[in-house]
Amino acid sequence: MPVTTAFLNTCRTSIITLPEYTAFNTSHATFASASRADRARYWQATYGDGNPTSPAYLLRRAIRDTVTSQATITGGISPAEREESIRTLAAEYAPQSPKPQSHADEAAALQALIVEEYMA
């Protein structure tokens, strides 16, 4: 049974008031507006490979806590529905972003694209 929109909206209302949400948005905006040379550094600061203090990790954990708390209050939410809600809300509020390529990897990909285009 899918989770109700009302339950998700209750969770959304709680999530947008979290300090973790604000911290993630600020960090992600810095990453998104960074120069190509600085993107890897800001990506690491925002998403951090397995870093438990990164804003993305902290927001995902806060989303999990919020959904778990609301499921307890609401009642009638199965563990599967709770996990589905967590995945949905995490994808909505703390989406994954691929790690930026290094300059060498980016140059190699561009060169491969040029060769492919030339050969076509």
Per residue in 92-115, pLDDT (tens digit) is 999 988 888 777 777 888 888 898
The per-residue pLDDT for 36 is 83
Exposed/middle/buried for residue 45 (C-beta within 10 Å: 0-12, 13-18, 19+): middle
Rounded to whole angstroms, how far apart are CA atoms 108 and 2? 45
- In 3D space, the residue among 11, 100, 97 whose CA is nearest the CA of residue 62 turns out to be 11
Enumerate residues 6+ apart whose C-beta is below 8 A from 64: 86, 90
Q: Which two tokens stand for residue 63?
A: 């989303």
| C-alpha of 30 from chain center | 15
Q: Would you list the domain boundaries of the chain?
A: 5-119
Digit-coded pLDDT (tens) for 34-90: 988 888 889 999 998 778 899 999 999 999 999 999 999 888 888 999 999 999 999
The per-residue pLDDT for 1 is 54
